[in-house]
Structure 1
Amino acid sequence: MGKLGIPEVLFLLTGLKWTVLLTIISFIGGGIFGLIVALARTSENKILRSLTAAYIGIFQGTPLLMQLFVVYYGVALLQVNVEPWLAVATAYTAHASAFLGDIWRGSIQALPKGQKEAADALGLHYVSRMRDVILPQALKISLPATIGFSVQLLKGTSLAAIVGFVELSRAGQIISNQIFQPLLVFGLVGAIYFVICWPISLYGSRLEARLAIGTR
């Protein structure tokens, strides 16, 4: 039985680095495409609404693990060599875009109809109406749910190990197999996740309470 030394801790921190980077890339990419999904989902075009509803339904109705398999091994069937990093980032970005798009769609639709009617009365075109009137208010409403999803996304990166991506959980598994101390190693891994996720969750809860007071 080996010991948990500095080399092992540094390896865990390397895994943590990739976990954080994957979360940031997926959240930013998912946010960009999620905004497009939300706008399409709330548009007056029936075809766009139907397509984006199907897109959201697919990603919300299937396990993230399956989505990773489809992206990584599905593309490989097309004789395309995909690096685990790119496959994982693509899968998580698509996953995040569907969930964030649905969160923001709900926030847009939660606004009073009078906001849109007032913007129309002022003669604002679609871009100005969404940019200056609708989206700033919808963003405020969606902040708690968006922050909550970011925590789920960070924890969900542990599934990336299934396609050979070495993030925090996978790094812990590798070290555990080397030193044969799974309780110690995964206890440390869990503590790292907690130290990162708990402050974010706490901030989301406080923000939600603050916004609830502001709307009374």
Structure 2
Amino acid sequence: MVQTLGLNQIIILLEAFRWTILLAAIAFVCGAGGGLCIALIRTAPLQALRGAAAAFIIVFQGTPLLMQLFVIYYGLPLIGITVNAWIAVAAGLTLHASAYLGEIWRSTIMALPKGQDEAARALGLGYRSRIVYVILPQALRISLPSTVGFLVQLVKGTSLAAIIGFTELTRAGQIVSNATYQPLIVFGLVGALYFALCWPLSHFSFQLEKRFASAR
């Protein structure tokens, strides 16, 4: 039976939009923790650790996010580890975010003048104190525009969760479109919701970049 696009269908889209926001937030927060670890390992003095972190980045930056979700959701059960769609998507996006944020933050750490680290050493600060009080505050500030820009890409990347059956905004749009036979209107609303979330973030990233450029 064909349904008409009404309040109930719009509520379905808004509820799915909430899951999109929650999924992006979890992936970004957990990915930020993983990315910080990756960035610190990549700049650590131990060659073996740097190599392992570099291999992690190469794998997750060099393969499509959709393939990574497939491996987690369909591949893990083959070795006896069964995960539901929510866990699979959250884990896949977190690993994806860890690789990209780790590389973003590593590059900003490496871009800092060496005199910063040398001055901290001259003051007698140990490795942990140099990282926490000298290096990271400057590096993370410089990386803010790129970090916010990546968050926009992460929000849009959540749409791939629809492929493995997780009902976020895109998947809800497919369901409502199939029920109402009004794909243009339904996906117009879906696109508007994505835009309402992503455009302010993109604008914020642009303003940060302009502000930091003026400061330099």
Q: In which range does the TM-score fall when normalised by the shorter chain?
A: over 0.9
Gaps of 5+ in 2: none
Match of 1:205 in 2: 206
Q: CA deviation at 1:198?
A: 0.3
Match of 1:39 in 2: 40
Match of 1:82 in 2: 83
Match of 2:94 in 1: 93
Match of 1:194 in 2: 195
SS at match of 2:98: helix
User: 2:147 is aligned with what amino acid?
Assistant: T
User: 1:40 is aligned with what amino acid?
Assistant: I
User: 1:142 is aligned with what amino acid?
Assistant: S
Where does structure 1 differ by over 3 angstroms across 4 or more consecutive aligned residues?
A: none
Q: Distance in 2 between matches of 1:126 and 1:80?
A: 39
Percent identity among equivalent residues? 59
Q: Distance in 2 between matches of 1:179 and 1:4?
A: 6
Q: Deviations over 1:175-215 (max 9, x none)?
A: 00000000000011001101110011001000100000111
Match of 2:154 in 1: 153
Give me the CA root mean square deviation.
Answer: 0.7
Q: CA deviation at 1:79?
A: 2.5
Match of 1:71 in 2: 72
Q: Deviations over 1:4-38 (max 9, x none)?
A: 11110010011101100000000000000110000
Q: CA deviation at 1:80?
A: 2.6
Q: Distance in 1 between matches of 2:26 and 2:128?
A: 26
SS at match of 1:2: coil
SS at match of 2:9: helix
User: 2:5 is aligned with what amino acid?
Assistant: L
Q: CA deviation at 1:96?
A: 0.3
Q: How many residues in Structure 1 have an aligned counterpart in Structure 2?
A: 215
Q: Distance in 1 between matches of 2:80 and 2:139?
A: 43
